[in-house]
Amino acid sequence: MRKKIITAVLFTISIILAGCHSGSNESQNKSEDQENKLNIVTTFYPMYEFTKEIVGDKTNISMLIPTTVEPHDFEPTAKDLANIQQADGLVYNNENMETWIDEVQQAVNTEELELINASEGIELLPFLTEGHSHEEGHSHEEEQSHGEGRSHEFDPHLWLSPKMAMLEVENISKKIIRIDPANRKTYEQNTKHYLEKLKKLDEQYESVLKSVKNKEIITQHAAFGYLADSYGLKQIPIAGLSPDNEPGAKQLKELKEFAKKHNIKTIFFEENASSKVAETLANELQAKTAVLSTLEGLSDEEIQNGKTYISIMEKNLQVLEKALK
């Protein structure tokens, strides 16, 4: 009887050990699978989603800028630079958004890292602040500068126009394929599928904004230039590139006069910025305020709840349609 018990115990232990060994092998295989994939770092949310839609599960992909940080204010740390150096590619929007990209090029070995400029070859709009007055020594050049002598010569907000987003996706896809030709077919199929979705979004914007009565939009900062340019609107920003810039009394007066002249009843602001300035102007005009998302950062909760570039851009379109009709 005792022999039977010992045999049973040994048999049970052998099963447990075999299971542990199997689990260890599975874990090792998963680890090796992860190591064999490309590692792609993306800067902020739109670049992350565009790249994720292209690569699917074929690469390890991460986002450099935390969703709690305004991308215009971000500066990479030494740890960030180390993570970038370990990657196979860095996807960024353009040097007018990621003004620190030159520092990255100088700090890391670019022979082992593909720098993927999503806006490469796309004609950028000059950074202008129509109707934006400057007083008390506050010059246009000062407003354009960001950080130690860095300037925003061109508008970086391409992704806020579906037309421009499609061009950025095509650029990213070509570069990903170049560094990982073995998965070319998958990347091409994924890109085609995502571009079809973006094309449908573009057609929705074309259809809706073509029929709206008013074409002028007053926005908290100059983020919607490409959207306006693509779909026949005119953007009048309260502030410049940064949503935190506050206008002077003279500029508020000019904006108030402009809004009255063009019968503007809605002032747009962004979800991640203070609405104080927009509300001040709206109160003076007896107008409403509404949120237009810049998609510069989605929270983990929003992502988990299924929010995407396309769903939020559809929401933006609904907001525009309601305000402009």
The pLDDT profile of the chain, 325 residues, written as one tens digit per residue, is 444 444 444 444 344 444 555 555 544 544 555 567 899 999 999 999 999 999 999 999 999 998 888 888 899 999 999 999 999 999 999 999 999 999 999 999 988 899 999 999 999 999 764 444 333 333 334 344 444 444 568 999 999 999 999 999 999 999 999 999 999 999 999 999 999 999 999 999 999 999 998 999 999 888 999 999 999 999 998 865 555 566 667 777 888 888 888 889 998 988 766 667 778 788 888 889 899 999 988 877 888 888 999 999 999 999 999 999 8
Locate tokens 């007055």: which residue?
A: 133
What's the domain count of the chain?
Answer: 1
On whether residue 163 sits in a domain, the answer given is yes
We report the CATH number of the domain holding residue 189 as 3.40.50.1980
Q: Which tokens hold the place of 324?
A: 């402009």
Q: Is residue 211 part of a domain?
A: yes
Domain that holds residue 302: 119-325
- Residue 318, domain member (yes or no): yes
* Residue 12 in domain: no
**Alpha helices in the chain, H assignment, sequence order:** 2-36, 45-55, 78-86, 101-107, 140-144, 162-179, 184-211, 225-231, 249-261, 276-285, 300-304, 309-324
The answer to whether the pTM exceeds 0.85 is no
Residue 46 belongs to some domain of the structure: no
Q: 73: closest CA among 168, 152, 165, 132?
A: 152
Say if 160 falls within a structural domain: yes
Q: Rounded to whole angstroms, how far apart are CA atoms 306 and 320?
A: 22
> Considering the domain boundaries, does residue 16 fall inside one?
no
d(CA 125, CA 142): 19
Cα distance between residue 295 and residue 311, in whole Å: 11
Q: Are 58 and 38 in contact (CB under 8 A)?
A: yes
Please report whether residue 28 resides in a domain. no
